[in-house]
Structure 1
Amino acid sequence: MPEVKRPIIDSIREYIATCPYIDDRKINIDYLGDRMEYSIDPIGADPIYRRYTDGTCLKQFQFALTSKEAYDGDARTAIAKSGFYQSFEEWAEQNNLEDILPELDGHDAIKVEVLQSGYLFAPDVDLGRYQMICRLIYK
């Protein structure tokens, strides 16, 4: 029986947990509950990022980093939440430069990119859902 590789989403979750801007809230996979927490949600996308003439290719894994955050319509609250996503984006860019990437079973991570900056996705009375679209490029 072939050995089962660790899922890529698990590697991404472990990587994101190392971000100094992520507080001690729970990091879920494909689930965002009723409290302030984070989730990593896979996004359906073509798994091939770039195909080469020799038959090899680079692959991609797209995901949304989402969070439930305190939401009250106040500008200061919105600025703080926007600042978190900006800081996360800069952290990921710096990690790419320093070759600090998710550790994958059977694959080599190349970079983590932010495709869409963090924004308020769904406002609610007390909590708002924020999200940022990212992808992992690997071979």
Structure 2
Amino acid sequence: MSIIESIRTFLLTCPLLEGGVMHVNYLEHEPVQFTIDEVPGDPIVKRYTDGSTVRQALFVIASSEFYSRDAIENLKACGFYEQLADWIERQNDSGNLPELAQGLSPLSIETMTNGYCIYTDIQQNVQRYQVQCRLLYLKEN
């Protein structure tokens, strides 16, 4: 199982995403759907003398949301991402981490930013929100 597939499987256990459509590196314009998008970055965080490495998988969790000029409607998306970050933090603190392939040991999962809007299509009444995250893991030599 790939790292991104492990992350997707893990996130699908989140009650907030129950019943939602979860894509990978693809997000339809139609609300409400989700994607996990891989983010470029240096995969190696630390090297050990035995050849083992601590690595990171950088990704964003994004969604297409309904856009409205009504502040209450837009606050719902903000609240969702706060709840999602809290859920990820609770899973991390309790040691409930994504299951990885043999030779890879998960160390932590965390959000790196608050959820934020990066795109608004006023004509389609759609916004894209996202939160940046990372999974740290040990790759044994």
User: Do Structure 1 and Structure 2 share a fold, with TM-score over 0.5?
Assistant: yes
Tell me which residue corresponds to 2:111: 114
Higher mean C-alpha displacement, 69-78 vs 80-89:
69-78
What is the Cα-based RMSD across aligned positions, in Å? 1.2
Offset of 1:54 from its aligned partner? 4.8
Q: 2:54 aligns with which of 54, 58, 79?
A: 58
Equivalent residue, structure 2, for 1:124: 121
Structure 1 portions without partners, runs of 5+: 1-5
Q: Which amino acid aligns with 1:131?
A: Q
**Where in structure 1 do 4 or more consecutive aligned residues deviate above 3 Å?**
52-55
Match for 2:115: what amino acid?
Answer: G
Structure 2 SS opposite 1:12: helix
1:74 counterpart residue number: 70
Question: Higher mean Cα deviation, 43-52 or 8-17?
Answer: 43-52
Deviation at 1:55, TM superposition (A): 3.9
Report the AA paired with residue 136 of structure 1.
L
Whole-angstrom distance in 1 between the partners of 2:28 and 2:99: 27
User: Partner amino acid for 1:32?
Assistant: L
Match of 1:21 among 16, 33, 55: 16
Aligned residues: 134
Secondary structure of the equivalent of 1:24?
A: coil
Higher mean displacement: 24-33 or 49-58: 49-58
> Structure 2 counterpart of 1:111, which letter?
S
Look up the SS of the partner of 2:110 in the other structure: strand
**Aligned partner of residue 58 in structure 2, secondary structure:** strand
Gaps of 5+ in 2: none
Question: Deviations 1:95-127 (Å, cap 9, x if unpaired)?
Answer: 111111101112111111111111011011211
Alignment partners' CA distance in 2, 1:23 and 1:71: 21
TM-score, normalised via structure 2 length: 0.90
Q: 1:3 maps to what in 2?
A: none
AA aligned opposite 1:86: E
Percent identity over the alignment?
36
Q: Could you tell me which amino acid in structure 1 is paired with residue 57 of structure 2? A: F
